[in-house]
Amino acid sequence: MDLKAWLLLLEGAWTTLWISGIAIMLGVSAGLLIALVRRQAIPLVDQALALYISLARATPLVTLVLFLFLSLPSVGINLNKNVAAILALTLNTAAFNAEIWRSALNNFSRDQREAAQAIGMTDWTFFRRIMLPQLFTVSLPALVNEMSFLIKGSPAIAVIGLVDLTRVTNRIASVTYEPLYPILGAGLIYMVMIGVMVKAQASAENKARRLAM
Whichever domain contains 134, its CATH number is 1.10.3720.10
Residue 130 has pLDDT above 90, yes or no: no
Residues 171 and 48: their CA atoms lie apart, in Å, by 42
Q: What is the mean pLDDT of the chain?
A: 89
Categorize the per-residue pLDDT at 36 as very low, low, confident or very high, splitting at 50, 70 and 90: very high
Residue 108, burial from CB neighbour count under 10 angstroms (0-12, 13-18, 19+): middle
Q: What is the pLDDT of residue 100?
A: 96
pLDDT tens digit sequence for 141-189: 899 999 999 999 999 999 998 989 999 999 999 888 888 999 999 999 9
90-111 per-position pLDDT tens digit: 999 999 999 999 999 988 877 7
Distance from CA of residue 93 to its chain's centroid? Answer: 5
Rounded to whole angstroms, how far apart are CA atoms 20 and 196? 14
pLDDT at 210: 66
Domain span holding position 197: 3-212
Domains held by the chain: number: 1
Q: How confident is the model at residue 127 (pLDDT cuts 50, 70, 90)?
A: confident
